[in-house]
């Protein structure tokens, strides 16, 4: 996931293949997302801005849901919402019939505000507080994932105040599987802070089977994110199968997205083929299978749009500095993730440049060695595959105002999150 390896000069198809399906160029060569011109979006909403092709996101949700249903009767797709915890995204995916996985009280509140059926909520977290679990129980969340023995203690104490109330749970298993991904987003190996190793999982299972308030429905396993090889998923299924037969198996997510020209992630269909085949080989035939795509659900529907502020030539590299950066995209700094980019009005090709942000850090680089055609101050720069985690990780470093989120579809756009104001930055101050 290196961010510093220069990219080769891409063809039109290479570059367009990274943008949301259906993206194209206007007759004058300007990029269009969801039928909307990048220059008109920048004029209306300003920059930086996160653009989401609504049609592409809906199509992705249906591809997952239809694909799993075709392969496994009764299968459930749940969006791992930490990838894009935005009320409008929750609402869209609820409309498409998906379940939602949440990992905090904030995500729980946003999912409910977005119209998620509480029974379709899957509640996660390695450090769930009383307040978070209490809110989940009060909302009627369908499943709570047990990550540790303290979760059991807390839930039983909370449910003791509601006689006759029962909560369905899954036990999160750490299968001791390490996929080939960045260490920070690998979660299934021995030593992970998430879940229980097999001996502890057996202990939790025995305890839950003796509970009169918690109903053990099954097991959960999730081994990480941005995984480009299907073998670790099979290994994880085989590991949890050792724990016995259950009614529900949540196999997590983790499928990687194509960020660069060299990335070759499995398709949704290939991923589902592997998971369902592994389930058929190792798990009970009647078991309900849940998958939790996050990054691979939303990444390629998003495009970040920036304005060039300055171009610095004459040294070893050409620096192209834009009006955003690590305030709206921390994936480069945190995980070394590489992104490609283009001038939105002179699409593709050009000289290798270092695309940098405006924040006071030398590490504030969006992409190194990325080809940009004759970049000039005032140009618009489009960075594809930014629908996952950029919104989640956006921040106020250097007093940056977090950017708007704009849905685009059939040539029309609508803001679903407004740009922060300076007043917003001071709203929580106590004077």
Q: Which residues are known catalytic residues? A: 360
- Which among 208, 212, 220, 123 is positioned nearest to 159, based on CA atoms? 212
**Residue 148 near residue 196, CB atoms below 8 Å:** yes
Pairing between strand 288-291 and 302-312?
unpaired
What is the rounded CA–CA span in Å between residue 261 and residue 259? 7
Ordered alpha helix ranges (H), 249-322: 268-282, 295-298
Place of tokens 């489009």: 382
Token match 């030593």: residue? 191
Nearest alpha carbon to residue 241 among 175, 188, 321, 176: 175
Query: Number of H helices and number of E strands within the chain?
Result: 14, 20
CA distance 177 to 189: 5
Alpha helices per DSSP H over 72-173? 87-95, 105-113, 130-139, 149-159
- Residue pair 218/247 in contact (Cβ under 8 Å)? The answer is yes
Question: b vs e for 310-344, b when ≥16 Cβ sit within 10 Å of the residue's Cβ?
Answer: ebeeeeeebbbbbbbbbbbbbbbbebebbbbbbbb
Please give the C-alpha separations between residue 314 and each of 317, 318, 371, 400, in angstroms, as whole numbers.
7, 7, 17, 29
Q: Residue 21 contacts by C-beta under 8 Å, 6 or more apart in sequence?
A: 53, 56, 59, 300
Q: Which of 7, 95, 66 is nearest to 350 (CA)?
A: 7
Angle of the 105-113 helix axis to the 130-139 helix axis, nearest 10: 20
- 352 is written with which tokens? 């290798």
CB atoms within 10 A of CB 183: 9
Q: What's the Rg (C-alpha) of the chain?
A: 22
CB 82 within 8 A of CB 103: yes
Q: Say how many C-beta atoms besides its own lie within 10 A of residue 377's C-beta.
A: 11
Q: Which of 333, 386, 379 is nearest to 353 (CA)?
A: 379
CA distance 30 to 233: 41
């Amino acid at each position: 996931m290196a961010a510093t390896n220069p990219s080769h000069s891409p063809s039109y198809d290479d570059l367009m293949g990274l943008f949301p399906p259906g993206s194209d160029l206007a007759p004058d060569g300007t990029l269009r997302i969801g039928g909307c011109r990048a220059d008109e979006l920048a004029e209306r909403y300003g920059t930086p801005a996160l653009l989401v092709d609504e049609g592409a996101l809906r199509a992705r949700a249906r591809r997952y849901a239809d694909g799993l249903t075709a392969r496994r009767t009764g299968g459930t797709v749940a969006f791992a919402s930490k990838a894009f915890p935005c009320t409008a995204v929750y609402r869209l995916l609820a409309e498409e019939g998906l379940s939602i996985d949440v990992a905090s009280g904030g995500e729980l509140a946003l999912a409910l505000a977005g119209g998620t059926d509480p029974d379709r909520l899957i509640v996660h977290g390695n450090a769930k507080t009383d307040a978070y679990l209490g809110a989940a129980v009060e909302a009627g969340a369908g499943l709570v994932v047990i990550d540790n023995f303290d979760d059991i203690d807390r839930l039983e104490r909370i449910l003791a105040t509601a006689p006759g109330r029962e909560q369905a749970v899954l036990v999160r298993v750490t299968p001791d599987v390490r996929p080939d991904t960045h260490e920070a987003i690998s979660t299934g190996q021995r030593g992970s802070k998430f879940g229980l190793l097999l001996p502890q999982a057996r202990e939790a299972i025995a305890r839950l089977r003796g509970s009169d308030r918690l109903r053990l429905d099954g097991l959960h396993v999730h081994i990480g994110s941005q995984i480009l090889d299907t073998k670790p998923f099979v290994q994880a299924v085989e590991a949890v199968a050792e724990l016995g037969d259950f009614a529900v198996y949540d196999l997590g997510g983790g499928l990687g997205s194509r960020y660069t020209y060299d990335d070759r992630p499995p398709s949704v269909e290939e991923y589902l083929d592997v998971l369902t085949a592994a389930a058929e080989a190792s798990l009970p035939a009647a078991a309900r299978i849940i998958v939790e795509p996050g990054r691979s659900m939303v990444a390629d529907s998003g495009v970040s749009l920036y304005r060039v502020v300055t171009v610095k030539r004459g040294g070893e590299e050409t620096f192209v500095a834009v009006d955003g950066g690590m305030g709206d995209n921390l994936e480069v700094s945190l995980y070394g993730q590489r992104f490609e980019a283009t001038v939105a009005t002179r699409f593709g090709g050009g000289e290798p440049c270092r695309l940098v942000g405006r924040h006071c850090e030398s590490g504030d680089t969006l992409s190194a060695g990325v080809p940009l055609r004759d970049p000039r101050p005032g140009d618009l720069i489009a960075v594809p595959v930014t629908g996952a985690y950029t919104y989640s990780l956006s921040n106020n470093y250097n007093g940056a105002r977090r950017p708007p989120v704009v849905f685009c579809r059939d040539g029309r756009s609508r803001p679903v999150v407004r740009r922060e104001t300076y007043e917003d930055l001071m709203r929580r101050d106590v004077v």
